[in-house]
Structure 1
Amino acid sequence: MASWADYFDLLPDPIFLLILNRVSDIKTLLRCRSVSKRFNSLVPQADSLLLRVDRVISASDDGVSFLSALFKSLLDLISVNPNRLPNSPSQILRGFDAIRSLRIELPSGDLRLEKGTSIKWFARFGKTLESCVIFAFRNGAEPSGDNGGLKTRVVWTISALIAASARHYMMADVVSEQHFLSHLVVNDRENEGTVVMDKDGLREFRESGGGEEINGCGVWWRNNRTMVPAVAMRMRHEAKLELSGGMEMEGATLVIVRPVGGKEHSGDEWLVSEAFGEEGVYAEAVERLLNSRSYILEMNSF
């Protein structure tokens, strides 16, 4: 009786690669390489990959970079010959020759704000920040001293921008070395924040030399994150939102961030729809906030 591996041998390579791209999970694909010589030769050609990180080690631990630590946590769970384990993120991904779409899922969000506060953000990057949409609020059941005053809203915004720039920074080596990569997403299981780099953004990053300098003076990087450029922030705020499902949000705040002097390729509505258009209660809240009065704040690079 033929084994399941024999049936796979009957599939043409293009169909087999479609199956591998559906699998996408790097941990599973690496295990597949040990099934047969054919699996071993075709797995590296998968072009749509997902890396789920199960634990995060501080970037300061033993001088290991944050991204290296993420990939180390993956390797701990993979049953392969320990004598052949790669020892860096770039070495792991060099095992895949045609990566075009890559998603990395972190175990949790980056922010730990005060109790009762929820925050969601969505950021686009090229060589540096292109745009960021931030939505934050307090649960109506939680008491609030300032009900999301301006100082609090600015803290929420800065916290989200720092988290986004840290995720962008940890992708630098991957972007520089994966020349076929045309779509990159870094998010988390709590769905708190998402960093996206599309084809144009990835090309811009590579053509800039990987982030060595900006304006010929000073480096892009600062404290293990990408420097945030001077930005203009369009902020909308409602002291209290009562949504159709009965949920109450205090200090509901929507902030749209763009670099000062940058081109506005998309309007506020499009950016908000891209970030939260399918998020249920959040979609309703941000749609309401789009109709609220807005005001502009500017912030120097940091």
Structure 2
Amino acid sequence: MNLSLALALAEESDHFDRLPDEVVLLIFHSIGDARSLFRCLCVCKRFSCLVPRVRSLHLSLPRRKPISRPTSLFNCFTLFFSKFISKPLKHLCRIKPSSSTSSESNSLNRVLRNFREIDSMHIKLPFYGGIDQCGGVAADGFDSLVKWKAEFGRDLKSCVIMGATSLQRIGEEQETEQGQEDEQVELELLTEREVRLRVVWIISSLISASARHHFLKQILSDHPMLRSVVVSDGNNQGKLCMGKEQLVEMRDSMKESLMVVGSNSNTKTWLERTPVPELSIKMSHVRVLELPETGYKMRGATLVEMRAVSGETKGNEGNSGFDGEGEEKAFGEAVREMLKVKKSYAMTMNAF
């Protein structure tokens, strides 16, 4: 009786082992999460051989926990200075990524070194604060009304920003007379304060996008099979996208840089922000924009389209990269509607 039970248990335990490697790889591919797959490496020898062959990964980097410090008058002053003075200035003027970016890169590399055949990757960085609709630094958990998407190769090719001052369900608020007047106005001249706000959106988005571009360089050098990369953040405010052609262009520029500075130089220069080239900017603004497909109403809707002056002029194929559900989907509809607006502001921005 004990023998037959042992045989039955043995047969039952062999069911998964009977699956061919191709099927097990499909299961791992459907998991996708890099940290879960990393744990699978320790399960058995078979898993440790198959997991590194996964070709598509999704990895969310955790936030670093702040270090608790004793409270004192000096610490309170330091916290006040850091939160209300230093941090906003760093957010707008920072040229190099902070040490947290370096630690995130090291943590990412430790996980990814076990996956050598990746051709598609989505990295979600922790959200430490972004731009809010007032142009300030958004706190953690803030539901941002400014979204951006950037496309890079060697340098920035294009960047699209969709912003608003408010987003509400249609019918949730009673319309005032002023609101009804706004609905009849498709385009009004922006005030000086509103123009400054949009400039903050533009500069902040470009700095964040260029920092993410440099963040990818070490990853790209370690994973030559990569053909598609998306780098977003925990609050889904911004997204950097690179396809096969853009990654090839980036690899070529990295090789050229090594030839110039010499193969013995350190790679610290790779961790600096990528310079932003001279840009041509087209900005469309609508006071009130109704989105019937998703059932939202957007006030102060502004679409900013930026392209490198020296780059190739293409259509608007990259301008519909806002997806998701609920409010995220509303931003995609807003972009499509804003592209129909004929009147717009045109300007140029110098390289920085």
Bin of the TM-score, shorter chain as denominator length: 0.7 to 0.9
- Contact 1:57-1:66 within 8 A present in 2 as well: no
Of stretches 148-157 and 244-253 in structure 1, the one that deviates more from structure 2 is: 244-253
TM-score, scaled relative to structure 1: 0.79
Q: Which runs of 5+ in 2 are unaligned?
A: 1-8, 67-96, 137-142, 169-189, 262-267
- The alpha-carbon distance between structure 1 residues 221 and 133, as it changes in their structure 2 partners (threshold 3 A), is farther
2:320 aligns to what?
A: 273
Q: Which of these two proteins has the greater Rg computed from alpha carbons?
A: 2
- The alpha-carbon distance between structure 1 residues 148 and 120, as it changes in their structure 2 partners (threshold 3 A), is farther
Q: Secondary structure of 1:281's partner?
A: helix
Q: Percent identity?
A: 38
2:158 aligns to what?
A: 131
2:211 aligns to what?
A: 166
1:38 aligns to what?
A: 46
Q: Does 1:175 align with 2:220?
A: yes
Aligned mates of 1:205, 1:283 — CA distance in 2: 28
- Counterpart code for 2:119: R
Deviation of 1:281 (Å) = 2.0
- Contact 1:51-1:103 within 8 A present in 2 as well: yes
Q: Secondary structure of 1:207's partner?
A: helix
1:227 aligns to what?
A: 275
Of stretches 231-240 and 287-296 in structure 1, the one that deviates more from structure 2 is: 287-296
Of stretches 162-171 and 2-11 in structure 1, the one that deviates more from structure 2 is: 2-11
- Counterpart code for 1:172: K
1:107 aligns to what?
A: 126
- The alpha-carbon distance between structure 1 residues 203 and 129, as it changes in their structure 2 partners (threshold 3 A), is same
2:104 aligns to what?
A: 69
Larger helix fraction of residues: 2
Q: Does 1:236 align with 2:284?
A: yes
- Contact 2:278-2:349 within 8 A present in 1 as well: yes
Q: Does 1:203 align with 2:248?
A: yes
- Contact 1:110-1:163 within 8 A present in 2 as well: no
Which of 307, 311, 317 aligns to 1:258? It is: 307
Q: Secondary structure of 1:185's partner?
A: strand
Which of 12, 20, 26 aligns to 1:12? It is: 20
Aligned mates of 2:165, 2:115 — CA distance in 1: 43
Q: Which runs of 5+ in 1 are unaligned?
A: 73-88
CA RMSD of aligned residues (A): 3.2
TM-score, scaled relative to structure 2: 0.69
Aligned mates of 1:36, 1:258 — CA distance in 2: 50
Deviation of 1:283 (Å) = 2.8
Deviation of 1:130 (Å) = 1.3
Q: Secondary structure of 1:149's partner?
A: helix
Q: Does 1:155 align with 2:203?
A: no
Deviation of 1:211 (Å) = 7.7
